[in-house]
Amino acid sequence: MGIREFPGGAPSGKTIAIGMRRSPDVSPRRLSDISPQLRQLKYLVVDEAIKEDLKWSRSVEDLTSGPVGLTSIEERILRITGYYGYQPWAASYKREERPRDSPAPAVAAAAEAQAVAGAEASGRTGHPCWRCSLAQLKKAFWGVAVVLCVCASWAGSTQLAKVTFKTFDAPFTLTWFATNWNFLFFPMYYTGHVFKSAEKQSLKQRYRECCRFFGDNGLTLKVFFTKAAPFGVLWTLTNYLYLHAIKKINTTDVSVLFCCNKAFVFLLSWIVLRDRFMGVRIVAAILAIAGIVMMTYADGFHSHSVIGIALVVGSASMSALYKVLFKLLLGSAKFGEAALFLSILGVFNILFITCIPVILYFTKVEYWSSFDDIPWGNLCGFSVLLLTFNIVLNFGIAVTYPTLMSLGIVLSVPVNAVVDHYTSKIVFNGVRVIAIIIIGLGFLLLLLPEEWDVWLIKLLTHLKVRKKEETGEGSADLGSGLQSKNRRTRPSFAH
């Protein structure tokens, strides 16, 4: 060990290096024999490099402890040097170090503190657990409301479109008119932001922040045509093919076949996005395809029905492609970003799709005699219902679970079936009913989470353990009952 002299006090130019042989069998020398060294030690400090090397040493620790930076003179020299067999476990050392180094009291104190903290935590979390259950109940209640809203808006828009085509045979014009309402997404979102958000931003600030979704440069002309325009085309094709299919076949078949888009999303995600392979989803996709074939067979493969089924399957395919490409190119979007994106689709529809209904009108593909004959009430009602459906489907995740929102789509099938039963001449033969059940089952299988098998194993294990416990308790009760009965029937020989 090297010890350098503190400037001032001790004779200059002197450095003490003490190296002594440690002998555990020899008691320490008297302090009077080493008094010169003790006087010099008052002015000594440990070199910083040496102190760093010995930072875990008890000697350096004691040099830097105490009111004046050092412990008592006697223990100072003896602990640093190990002088003449000084044993650090001596009585004085034990008195000083035992409260600090003894593990048992520390463990006991920690256990006691942990127990107290646990008791306090349990006392504090008793009420929050109830709050948590209330929050889950509230979320489930909102989920039921969202399911009903999705079901009603989707089934209502489908039925209203069917009614509209009786007097206004223009599916593409109806698609264009309803898509224009997407422009309202971002204004409605900003209105909610102003009323709900604690940190309110101006419309320009909020717009710029949401534009970061498209990249560092925001929404440029290049981004508009490369990342927004393709989705505008897919959106228009999805809705147009769906509405055109309603003209060909009944709304029940259209709604149930559109549920196959969930299976198409899985297949495309598995191929394009390299999502996790799940056997149950492959089974669901097979069920969806089988349901499509059976639905085609239900009407006897007539050209009218085959075209209608092909149109709705194409609509489901465009919807699946839209979702997969959105995840591939843009990723996930927040609420403001999603609202801005849908509003951009409305702007794209107004700027670039408006020419198509005009061309269809003058070519008399979609022709109406006068604008007074247009059922504006039906068009606006359909647009409002479709806008409501998209709002709830995109923003309902803020109040409930995504799985519940998807249930609203499949629940629209029986609603459309009931309406078709009373308003049209649909025949629910065995093949059609089986096809509807198969497609609905496949849709429900696709809603299973990725860890569903782990949860199922845990549930079965829990039920098995609980059954064994109940069996053991029943055997114990039976045994105790027999013993008490034997004690009651045992004869007494005492007189």
Structure confidence by residue, pLDDT tens digits, 38-71: 555 555 555 555 555 544 444 444 444 444 444 4
Number of C-alpha atoms within 13 angstroms, CB side, residue 251? Answer: 25
Burial class for 223, CB neighbours closer than 10 Å (0-12, 13-18, 19+): middle
pLDDT attached to residue 468: 76
Cα separation, 288 vs 278, in Å, equals 16
pLDDT attached to residue 141: 84
pLDDT attached to residue 175: 96
pLDDT attached to residue 41: 56
Residue 295, token pair as written in the block: 């639905």
* List of E strands, 275-326: none
pLDDT attached to residue 43: 52
* Residues in CB range of 449: below 8 A, 6 or more apart: 455
- pTM of the model as a whole: 0.66
pLDDT attached to residue 295: 85
pLDDT attached to residue 26: 46
pLDDT attached to residue 12: 41
The answer to whether the beta carbons of residues 38 and 77 sit under 8 Å apart is yes
pLDDT attached to residue 486: 53
pLDDT tens sequence across 384-414:
999 999 999 888 887 777 777 788 888 999 9
Spell out, as residue ranges, where the chain has pLDDT lower than 70. 1-132, 301, 303, 452-453, 472-495
The answer to whether the beta carbons of residues 405 and 140 sit under 8 Å apart is no
* Residues in CB range of 270: below 8 A, 6 or more apart: 277
Q: Within the chain, what is the greatest distance between any pair of CA atoms?
A: 125
The answer to whether the beta carbons of residues 256 and 343 sit under 8 Å apart is no
Compute the residue count for the chain: 495
pLDDT attached to residue 74: 56
pLDDT attached to residue 189: 92
Cα separation, 94 vs 116, in Å, equals 30
